[in-house]
Amino acid sequence: MATQLQLAKTGTITGEITFVAETEGVDAELVRTELAAGRLIIPANKLHLKTNPSASLRTSLKPIGIGRALTTKVNANIGTSSIRSSVEAEIEKMEAALAAGADAIMDLSTGANLDDTREQLLARCPTPFGTVPIYQVIEGRDVEDIDNKIILEIIERQAKQGVDFFTIHAGVLKEHLSLLEKRIAGIVSRGGALLAKWMLYHNKQNPLYEMFDDLCGILAEYDVSFSLGDGLRPGCIADATDDAQIAELKTLGELTQKAQQKGCQVMVEGPGHIPFDQIQYNMEIQQKICHGAPFYVLGPVVTDIAPGYDHITSAIGGTAAAFYGASFLCYVTPREHLGLPNADDVRVGVIAAKIAAHAADIARGLKGAAEKDKSLSVARANLDWKTHLAESLDPQTAERMHIEACEQIPVEKLPSADYCTMCGRNWCSVRINKEIREAMKNK
């Protein structure tokens, strides 16, 4: 069975292409041509799709497209850690992320029972589901002991479970490690750091790079998309856009073409921590080096000094990234750099990333984006509280805040109130404007 990419190249409009086009309100032929050109992917493991008769999962995938021709998508990372591990807590976080509008979920678990955790999450996940298989390769053994056989076995096992995209850190090469000397934060990617340790111990090349052809074979068989990992992404503002980051990006560009030639869908991961003025350059150089493959960025975080507020620092960077070239934003929660997030951190992180993505979609003139704002603004101008709150990105929070404020000073109940506690009735410019408009109409 061919992959989405191979089928698109033959001119076939698959059911998944049609579904994505209808969801986005664009022409199916546009989705097909972008997919065939490698500028768009539909991460959809054949075993996560209902259309596949051998699909074993209880919840089938609703495919999404990731690429510049479509709306900017948002990913939420969840997963157990080696010292805090509860499947129930991760299910709760995934449900919070999906309810807040996450377009994709990544399970970054490193705790106990990884196969079972993944199975339980996947069984409930209707969106593309990603993992970083090298985590499981390392689980329960010393990093020095991993070999090619273990890596291939784990990757195939996860593909057979229905995972839709894999982060593969194949671009971190032995020769890149000497470029890290001047860094403050070193290697902050868990996969990148573990592979670097393996390379130094064995004095050999990255096994994921050496086995890349074999990996392409497995990923193509199940149509798992590559998310080519940025193992050398900068972990602080001072390290941004350095030689190590760019050297790895060049390798990722080569691997992008190699994987696409073998029928695999590819997106490329990017930083990380970038000062605001370097975001445009980072987006443009990735698009050039990686031949337009969708760029999936973590944040980017635009300052290091706001732990506790990194959903905000990343949303600032995320809007700029999505405006200049990224297609997929990985959320950052307020607890980033501080600890494992809880369900509320996840919810807040997703909302912040959704705001960033939507703000960029408005600015790049994407069809339908500004119309949502216009619709809410009309309701706001008409003091139509019901529509105003319902059409907001986070209706529950908006409604809760409004009601709380109303309760502080008894005002007229929703939906008839023609002012709020912010200015009071006599000072409510929205109400006065409404009266002016009506008076002018009557004249």
124: DSSP letter: T
Which C-beta is closer to ligand SF4: that of 10 or that of 416? 416
First-to-last C-alpha distance (Å) of the chain: 69
Measure the CA–CA gap between 395 and 134, rounded to whole angstroms.
38
Phi/psi zone of residue 358: left (φ > 0), alpha (ψ -120 to 50 degrees), beta? Answer: alpha
Measure the CA–CA gap between 125 and 91, rounded to whole angstroms.
10
Measured CA to CA in angstroms, residue 340 lies from 81, 138, 273, 344, 346 at distances of: 8, 20, 19, 12, 10
Which C-beta is closer to ligand SF4: that of 148 or that of 429? 429
Which C-beta is closer to ligand SF4: that of 296 or that of 419? 419
Which C-beta is closer to ligand SF4: that of 68 or that of 388? 388
Which C-beta is closer to ligand SF4: that of 390 or that of 423? 423
In whole angstroms, the minimum distance from the beta carbon of 319 to ligand SF4 comes to: 25
3-state helix vs strand vs coil in the chain, percent to 5: 50, 10, 40
Tokens linked to 440: 């002018």
Measure the CA–CA gap between 258 and 214, rounded to whole angstroms.
12
In whole angstroms, the minimum distance from the beta carbon of 377 to ligand SF4 comes to: 12
Member of 27, 429, 437, 438 binding ligand SF4 (CB under 6 A): 429
**Phi, psi (degrees; rounded to nearest 5) at 38:** 80, 10
Q: Which of 316, 300, 163, 151 lies closest to 239 in space, CA to CA?
A: 300
Which C-beta is closer to ligand SF4: that of 30 or that of 417? 417
Measure the CA–CA gap between 236 and 182, rounded to whole angstroms.
12
CA angle 251, 254, 258 (to 5 degrees): 135
Q: Does 376 bind ligand SF4 (CB under 6 A)?
A: no
Measure the CA–CA gap between 230 and 128, rounded to whole angstroms.
20
Q: Does 389 bind ligand SF4 (CB under 6 A)?
A: no
Single out the segment in contact with ligand SF4 by CB under 6 A; choices: 99-107, 145-153, 159-167, 428-436: 428-436
Cβ neighbours around 392 below 10 Å, total:
16
> How many residues touch ligand SF4 (CB under 6 A)?
8
Q: Does 420 bind ligand SF4 (CB under 6 A)?
A: yes
In whole angstroms, the minimum distance from the beta carbon of 424 to ligand SF4 comes to: 6
Which C-beta is closer to ligand SF4: that of 375 or that of 433? 433
Which C-beta is closer to ligand SF4: that of 113 or that of 382? 382
Q: Does 328 bind ligand SF4 (CB under 6 A)?
A: no
Single out the segment in contact with ligand SF4 by CB under 6 A; choices: 110-118, 332-340, 355-363, 427-435: 427-435
Member of 8, 91, 194, 428 binding ligand SF4 (CB under 6 A): 428
Measured CA to CA in angstroms, residue 442 lies from 194, 383, 431, 433, 436 at distances of: 73, 20, 17, 14, 10
Measure the CA–CA gap between 249 and 231, rounded to whole angstroms.
10
In whole angstroms, the minimum distance from the beta carbon of 430 to ligand SF4 comes to: 4
Member of 419, 436, 441, 443 binding ligand SF4 (CB under 6 A): 419
Single out the segment in contact with ligand SF4 by CB under 6 A; choices: 38-46, 253-261, 275-283, 420-428: 420-428
Measure the CA–CA gap between 31 and 86, rounded to whole angstroms.
39
Helix 148-161 / helix 114-122 crossing angle, nearest 10 deg: 30
Member of 422, 426, 442, 443 binding ligand SF4 (CB under 6 A): 422
Which C-beta is closer to ligand SF4: that of 134 or that of 389? 389
Member of 18, 292, 430, 434 binding ligand SF4 (CB under 6 A): 430
CA 308 to chain centre: 20
Q: Does 423 bind ligand SF4 (CB under 6 A)?
A: yes
Q: Report helix, strand or coil for 295.
A: strand
In whole angstroms, the minimum distance from the beta carbon of 388 to ligand SF4 comes to: 9
In whole angstroms, the minimum distance from the beta carbon of 393 to ligand SF4 comes to: 18
Interface residue list for ligand SF4 (CB under 6 A): 419-420, 422-423, 428-431
